[in-house]
Amino acid sequence: MVIPVEVNGTKLTFLLDTGVSSTIMFSLSEIDSLALNDSKLIRLRGLGEGGSIPALKSSLNKIKIGKVTDVNHTIFVVFDKSLSLSKRMGIPIHGIIGHDFFKNLVVKTNYNTRKIFLYAPENYIEKECKKCEVFDLTFHNKKPYLNVTNIYGNESDVFTLLIDSGSSDAIWLFDNAILEINLNNKWFDDFLGQGLSGDIFGKRSKIPKMSIGNFEMTNIKAVSYTHLRAHET
């Protein structure tokens, strides 16, 4: 989901990502009109053991999405241009935004109309959906998790998965041997993407079956993270 975001009066484009807690920007030098407040140099660490990278932490910024405004928002700016999402997605993307902005809002997403709706909790009236099923979420480090079952045909096994709207893959698994053992070696090694600490590699395959409540899905594309190649710093 790519949405318009206004940062200190400058109109930008961000990826809405439930898999991140903080707001992160890339390639700040390309945005001449943007001024950030109360900034200091820090180092950020990403997925894997690739070490940390230099970044800028900026506080007291004004972030606006639609009619909703946060006047005390912290933004992390990453200088490494190789991490920019614009080239990979083919459209200008200046950063990613998640929990820190939406934490006190009710967020409703309509993929068919390509719109999101933001509500103050006290103003939101939930409508009954006869074709829907409601699931409990758990939160850890400001990120939402959901329990699923039946990944390998055993309904008694429960797996806890992060709900990540910023990922283009259906399922990521973090056990190096999962796909090899359970899918009869029908997998292949691949480059999975870039994290803050380096290039991410793993295996691609398909999961025969997975259940979320009464919803059952089959032949789901899946990746298994195996290792990270660190950025040079």
* pLDDT level of residue 156 (50, 70, 90 thresholds): low
In a shared domain, residues 106 and 145: no
Is a pLDDT exceeding 70 seen at residue 191?
yes
In a shared domain, residues 103 and 9: yes
User: Is 130 a domain residue?
Assistant: no
Domain stop point among 65, 92, 123: 123
Percent of the chain with pLDDT over 70: 77
Is a pLDDT exceeding 80 seen at residue 134?
yes
Question: What pLDDT shows up at residue 83?
Answer: 66
Is a pLDDT exceeding 80 seen at residue 197?
no
Domain stop point among 97, 123, 149: 123
Q: In which residue are the tokens 């241009």 written? A: 81
Is a pLDDT exceeding 90 seen at residue 4?
yes
In a shared domain, residues 65 and 167: no
User: Is 70 a domain residue?
Assistant: yes
In a shared domain, residues 191 and 144: yes
* pTM attached to this predicted model: 0.79
Domain with 7 in it: 2-123
User: Is 185 a domain residue?
Assistant: yes
DSSP collapsed to 3 states, the chain: CEEEEEECCEEEEEEECCCCCCEEEECHHHCCCCCCCCEEEEEEECCCCCCEEEEEEEEEEEEEECCEEEEEEEEEEECCHHHCCHHHHCCCCCEEECHHHHCCCEEEEECCCCEEEEECHHHCCCCCCCCCCCCCCEEECCEEEEEEECCCCCCCCEEEEECCCCCCCCEEECCCCHHHHHCCCCCEEEEEEEECCEEEEEEEEEEEEEEECCEEEEEEEEEEEEEEEECCC
User: For residue 193, what is the domain's CATH number?
Assistant: 2.40.70.10
User: Is 89 a domain residue?
Assistant: yes
| Count: domains in the chain | 2
In a shared domain, residues 119 and 147: no
In a shared domain, residues 117 and 148: no
In a shared domain, residues 24 and 102: yes
Is a pLDDT exceeding 90 seen at residue 82?
no
User: Is 65 a domain residue?
Assistant: yes
Question: What pLDDT shows up at residue 214?
Answer: 84
Is a pLDDT exceeding 60 seen at residue 222?
yes
User: Is 176 a domain residue?
Assistant: yes
User: Is 177 a domain residue?
Assistant: yes
Q: What is the mean pLDDT of residues 151-166?
A: 75
User: Is 132 a domain residue?
Assistant: no
Measured CA to CA in angstroms, residue 154 lies from 31, 157, 184, 188, 213 at distances of 51, 6, 17, 24, 14
